Amino acid sequence: MIPLAQSKRIVIKLGTGVLTTGIGQLNTERISLLARQVNELRNRGIEVVIVSSGAVGLGMGKLGIQKRPKDLAMLQACAAIGQTVLMNTWQKCFDPYGANVAQILLTREDIRARHRHNAIFNTVERLLANATVPIVNENDTVSATEIKFGDNDTLSALVASVINADLLFILSNIPGLIDKKGTGLVVPVVEKVTPTIEAMAGGTEQQTSVGGMISKLSAAKIAQRAGCGVVIGSGKDEQLFTKILNGEQIATYFVPSDVPVKSHKRWIAIQDHVDGQLHIDAGATEAIRRFGKSLLSAGILRGEGAFELGDIVSIHDASGKYFAQGQVGMDADTLQDLLQKKGKTPASVVIHRNHLVLIN
């Protein structure tokens, strides 16, 4: 059962296919219905943050473009034009409930930098405390990487982690993860995203969209390891939240990690870019996996990358399997010196257990 009634804070990500009826055409009726559902959740004491797609598609419509541009500058122009339309529509749809909306535009660098990460949390906290609905989107007008490679599924998972949400709803045109090669039905519960689950995924063919089920599963993994449950379901179901509150088995629920994750470790867990790699021996692997110990220089076989003090690195076992990541307490040159002196000097802590997170 999806624990919506017990949740204090949720994130709702809405795909372009849910919010539009075609290129450049907002489905204002559906947005109004979504605003009403969000208001009902807020009346139950559930705080809601929305991650809204649609800006690029709306800009394409305004400019009369039928196919998603490959030119970066044109994509940025479409996003800039469409974002104003999108936010104005959301505000009009929340006006009947006396609710203000607030625009938050983010890049991945805002998530990666610890001080910006904290600033996002503080801003959202203040907005929610003032009965405002934050509307989040990628800052596509200035961030080249986000437009070319990013997707709002991943963004929503990162936002859910940053603000310590209980549930993330990723809503699109599909009712959930469908077992196309098996039963043909929606998979009700996923404990862990395994290769078998990933094999069920597919991309998207919509001209205004990025991603598909592949990106949704990737987002689910990020949110799960940060301690946030994920629901993949249909944004076209006008009674979705009511059905869930009534205990109906609907959509696909991804169970969060049952290990409590502190704020700093959540930040480490969601980093999708690392500055280096550490390959460690079997003894160090067991110490980290089984006993939650710190990583000492004595257990490191080799280091890769020009990382600095405080950077995030991935950790691999002796077979090369990536299973953890952490924030290093020294730079690459210092580590290299320690490895050259291994056995001649006492072992040093390279990553303290408070800065180390298991990934797989």
Q: Token pair for residue 287?
A: 């110490």
Angle ∠(71,113,288) on CA atoms, nearest 5 = 115
Task: For each of the domains in the chain, give its residue range(s) and CATH number, in order of start.
Answer: 9-265 (3.40.1160.10), 274-358 (2.30.130.10)
* Dihedral sign for Cα atoms in the order 64, 67, 234, 158: negative
> Residue 144's pLDDT is what?
62
> Residue 273's pLDDT is what?
82
Per-residue pLDDT tens, the chain, 360 aa: give them: 899 999 999 999 998 889 988 877 889 999 999 999 999 999 999 999 999 988 888 899 899 998 888 888 898 899 899 999 999 999 999 999 999 999 999 988 888 888 888 999 999 999 999 999 999 998 877 766 544 435 789 899 999 999 999 999 999 988 999 988 778 899 999 998 988 898 887 544 454 444 588 889 989 998 988 889 999 999 999 999 999 999 998 999 999 987 656 778 888 988 878 999 999 999 999 999 999 999 999 999 999 999 999 999 999 999 999 999 999 999 999 999 999 998 888 999 999 999 999 887
> Residue 204's pLDDT is what?
46
> Residue 202's pLDDT is what?
59
* Three-state secondary structure readout of 277-334: EEEECHHHHHHHHHHCCCEEHHHEEEEECCCCCCCEEEEECCCCCEEEEEECCCCHHH
> Residue 354's pLDDT is what?
93
Rounded distance between C-alpha atoms, residue 211 and residue 278, angstroms = 31
Rounded distance between C-alpha atoms, residue 206 and residue 209, angstroms = 5
Task: Determine whether 299 is exposed, middle or buried from the number of CB atoms within 10 Å of its CB (0-12, 13-18, 19+).
Answer: buried
> Residue 81's pLDDT is what?
93
Q: Which residues, at least 6 apart from 91, have a Cβ–Cβ distance to it below 8 Å?
A: 100, 101
pTM of the model: 0.85
> Residue 5's pLDDT is what?
95
